[in-house]
Structure formats: structure tokens, C-alpha cells
């Protein structure tokens, strides 16, 4: 007696194609605008750690024209 080598159904399953946006393809000024909407603390502690592009944008002096210092506990 020969055992079946495949337990998978023979029907093909359609996989829905999902397009994931590549945030690194955004223009630098739009990415900077997004980062400027973060609190100063968030930019320093997490925004600059996302990727090298965000790190470079966070180092730009134009990002620091206005520093909002609110509630730091």
C-alpha cells in the first residue's frame, strides 16, 4: 500500500495582493513635516531611531526652529 505524499488540497487559494506604502519614498519635506508634528521628546527619543533617513532629518537645524516643551515627567 502506497501512502499519499501530499495532504494539501489540490485547489489553489487566491491570495489578496496588499500594497504596502514605502514610507522611504516620500519626499524629504513631507517626511520632515510629519516629524515636526511629533512632540520634541518623541523626536529625540524615538523619531530619530526609526531609520537613517529620519535620523538625518532630525539632525537638520530647521527641525529645531521651534521647540515645544510641555509636560516632562
pLDDT tens readout for residues 5-37:
556 556 666 767 788 778 788 899 999 898 888
Q: Is the pLDDT of residue 72 over 80?
A: no
Threshold 0.95, pTM exceeds: no
Q: What angle do CA 9, 11, 17 make, to 5 degrees?
A: 115
Amino acid at each position: 500500500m502506497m501512502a499519499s505524499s501530499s495532504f494539501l488540497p489540490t485547489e489553489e487559494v487566491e491570495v489578496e495582493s496588499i500594497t504596502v506604502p514605502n514610507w522611504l519614498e516620500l519626499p524629504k519635506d513631507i517626511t520632515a513635516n510629519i516629524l515636526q508634528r511629533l512632540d520634541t521628546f518623541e523626536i529625540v527619543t524615538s523619531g530619530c531611531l526609526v531609520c537613517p533617513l529620519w535620523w538625518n532629518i532630525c539632525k537638520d537645524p530647521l527641525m529645531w526652529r521651534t521647540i515645544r516643551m510641555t509636560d516632562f515627567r
